[in-house]
Each structure stands twice: as C-alpha cells, then as structure tokens.
C-alpha cells in the first residue's frame, strides 16, 4: 500500500485493536466477519493493517464486536 507512515501506523493500530477485542470475546475471524458482513480474508487483512478500511466497514466491525468505533481507534492505555 502506498500510504504515509502515519496512516500505516493508524491502520496497524486499528487492526491490532480489532484482533485484541475479537480474541477477548473468543470470536473467530470467520464469526466476526460474518457478523460484520465482510469476507474473512478481508477481515484478516484489516487486522494486519493492510487495508485502508471504508468508514462503513469500520462501523460494521465495531458494531459486530459490540464496542464504540472510538475504542478501535485509540491506542491502548
């Protein structure tokens, strides 16, 4: 992906937060992807920070995890 280093860091953080919350809830990628209405391989690439995710998909993933989108955008404290 040709993006700025700052954007790449943000995408990486977003993906790491998704993975962390997904694992805390004992969800598989397949289950979360189905609940969010996205393909499992797409979700995997989001978790790895390889996708510049559309806002609609960000909300769908957050909703499927049952967390506010803001929680997926913040660095862990």
Is residue 61, in this structure, part of any structural domain at all?
A: yes
Please count the structural domains in the chain: 1
Whole-model pTM: value is 0.93
Tokens linked to 10: 């943000």
Residue whose entry in the numeric block shows the structure tokens 């390889």? 50
CATH number of residue 21's parent domain: 1.10.260.40
Q: In this structure, are residues 64 and 36 in contact, taking their beta carbons and an 8 Å threshold?
A: yes
Is residue 59, in this structure, part of any structural domain at all?
A: yes
pLDDT in tens, 18-75: 999 999 999 999 999 999 999 999 999 999 999 999 999 999 999 999 999 999 999 9
Is residue 75, in this structure, part of any structural domain at all?
A: no
Is residue 55, in this structure, part of any structural domain at all?
A: yes
Is residue 38, in this structure, part of any structural domain at all?
A: yes
Residue 54: the pLDDT is 97
Q: Which domain holds residue 15?
A: 5-67
């Amino acid at each position: 992906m040709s993006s700025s280093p700052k954007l790449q860091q943000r995408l990486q953080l977003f993906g790491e937060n998704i993975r962390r919350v997904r694992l805390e809830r004992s969800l598989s990628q397949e289950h979360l992807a189905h609940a969010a209405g996205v393909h499992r391989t797409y979700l995997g690439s989001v978790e790895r920070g390889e996708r510049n995710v559309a806002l609609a998909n960000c909300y769908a993933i957050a909703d499927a995890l049952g967390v506010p989108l803001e929680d997926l955008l913040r660095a862990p404290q």
